[in-house]
Structures are given as structure tokens and as C-alpha cells.
Amino acid sequence: MSGLHDLASAAFSLLDSEEAHRLAISGLKAGFGPKDPHVDDPVLATRLAGLDLTNPVGLAAGFDKNAEAANAMLRAGFGFAECGTVTPLPQEGNPKPRLFRLTPDRAVINRLGFNNEGLEVFAGRMASRPRKGVVGANIGANKDTTDRADDYVKGLTRLWGLADYFTVNISSPNTPGLRGLQTRAALEELLGRLREAREGLKADGDFPVFLKVAPDLTDVEIAAITEATIAHGLDALMVGNTTLSRPDSLRSSSRSEAGGLSGAPLMGPSTDILRRFYEAAEGRIPLIGVGGIASGADAYAKIRSGATAVQLYSAMIYEGPGLVVKVKADLAARLKAEGFSAVSEAVGAALR
């Protein structure tokens, strides 16, 4: 069956990037996606902010923007799946073309701009899906909102009880001014309002809330973000999002397109900033490593650099959703070869 999915992935690579993605989501909804027939190796069992995961390899936001295929991706073998980014009101996003494959670099540039069907459609799908496995909601703000913090509060409130966790995305480079929420004063206001909203929602249960940050931060910014996140009671930091930088190594003719770069070239820089967040956090808050993961070796490097769990997306554009099975098998083998009996034992090992 994996050969069939490999063939489908190759065929999709010939299509326009957004069209290929739309067809992939349609196929997954129709039940045509890969299914991992194996029970996860016990060495991969992970506890993240109170969530019990059978493995630490998650699906990053951006693939399933409108909560259409989360359960299909869990069946493919992901330990958790994150839907979104969703904004209160539907929005078209930025003008097309806005998604570019950098095939020689195993990378992607996107300037999508939070295109999604809006909170009500998203909530309806989250409410109707079978509750199997851990599924999170990545929440954002509309481009033309006059109160960004209020948009995040709306997302948290509407989806409370429908998602297993929430990721507050303040790090997309494709919504003008959004990354400004990472500055100290703006972040304090946002996290304060989210904390107040969360306290009011806890009568209906509590759910972890994560903060997703950019990979383009200074040590001073890393320290301030870490302290604010802990002070306001958030449950994990997700490091990081796409980058605005362009490494000199890029070869693709699309390398100068505007937008956020993801994929293989982001592995090194995003792992470096993960280490810096790990050192700043001093074990007070778990980290989720995102950026450039395409193999078990990459996932293991993130864990050794401080990640309790990891997420991938861009590599699937080249390898297909069946990639997660290979990543898990390799990761389990590496953990055992190093004498670890659990993922938790390897977290931050490279810095000890």
C-alpha cells in the first residue's frame, strides 16, 4: 500500500501546490490516506502538558486548516494532529500564487495569510468528529481585525471543549504586524486576556494552551517570551514557525519569493533556537520542536536539543503522509541504541 501512496505523492508533485493540497485533503476525507497498521513502540510513549501521546511526532498546523482530516492523519500514525490556523471570520488569504515548492532544497515558501473557512465551520467539524486521539486547534487573528487579542479570545472560547489543546499562533510572517505580538508589552496584554478567558472557561474543564513563536528571535526576546509564557500559566512553547531568512544555500528559482520558508533548510536554525529556549526555560515549561523535520534523525536531534514532542509538515509535500511511520521507526531505534527507555529521558540530552 505504501507504494501506491508513494506513486500518488509523485503525481501530486506535478500539480500546482495548492491544488495538490486540496486534492490530498479530499482524498484523506474519503478514506484514501495511509493507515499505520502497527502499535507504537512503547519507547515512544510521551506525556506532553498532561496529554498522553502514543508517540511524540505530531502533525503541524497548516496542513489541515479547516479541521477536515485530523482523524485521517492520526490513523496515518501521528501521535497528535493540529488543525488550523483558524480565525474568527472566514478569509481568503493573500493573492495567488502564494505557495511555492523549492524542490532542489526540499523546502517550501508560503505567504498564504491564514486562509480558512472561519471559526464556525471549524467548530462544527471539531464537534462532529469522532473523539479518537489528540487533536489541537491553532488559533489566529483576522488580518483586518481592530483587536487581535479579542480574536484569540474568541477562538479559545468557541473551541473550548472541542479541541484537546490550543496553540496561540503569534508567529506567522504572512499577516502584517502579527509578529509584533511577540514584543513584551503586546505579549503581556495578549496572554493576560487569554488567561482571564481561560479562568472563566475552566468550569467546563481545562485544556493545555501553547504559544507558537518565530525562529527569528534574539536571546533577549527569547528570555522575555519564556518568562511571560510561564508567568501567565501557559503549558508549552512551540518553537518555531516559518522563517523570513533565506540561507545562501538555497538553489531553487523560487528562493526569492516573499513569505515564510519551511522545510529542510530550517532544520539547523530552528534547532539552534530550540536549544536557546530550552536553556532559558530551565525545565519550567515543555517545548515542542518544529521546523525542518524529515527523518527520525531530525526528530531525535530536536528531542536531544530540548523538545518533549515534535511536529512536521513540509517534508510530507515531498514524501507523502506515510513519512510519519518511517520517522517513528527510526526514532524508536535511535532511542534504544542510546540506552533510553522513554522519550523523556532523551529530552535535552545534548545539552547535559
In the numeric block, which cell numbers belong to residue 202? 475552566
Residue found under cell 505530531: 58
For the annotated catalytic residues, the residue numbers are 172
Judge residue 254's burial from the number of C-beta atoms within 10 Å of its C-beta, 0-12 exposed, 13-18 middle, 19 or more buried: middle
User: Could you tell me whether strands 99-102 and 80-86 are parallel, antiparallel, or unpaired per DSSP bridges?
Assistant: unpaired
Residue found under cell 530550540: 274
Tell me: cis bond preceding 85? Omega within 30 of 0 counts.
Answer: yes
Contacts of 67 (CB under 8 A, 6+ apart): 83, 84, 86, 122, 125, 126, 129, 137
In the numeric block, which cell numbers belong to residue 97? 500564487
Q: What is the CA radius of gyration of the chain?
A: 19
3-state secondary structure of 166: strand
Residue found under cell 522513554: 342
Q: Which residues of 284-319 are buried (b: 16+ CB within 10 A; e: fewer)?
A: ebbbbbbbbbbbbebbbbbbbbbbbbbbbbbbbbbb
Query: How many residues does this entry show for the chain?
Result: 352
Task: For residues 121 and 86, give the distance between their C-alpha atoms in angstroms, rounded to a whole number.
Answer: 10
Longest dimension (CA), the chain: 53
Residues 9 and 90: beta-carbon distance below 8 Å = no
In the numeric block, which cell numbers belong to residue 126? 471539531
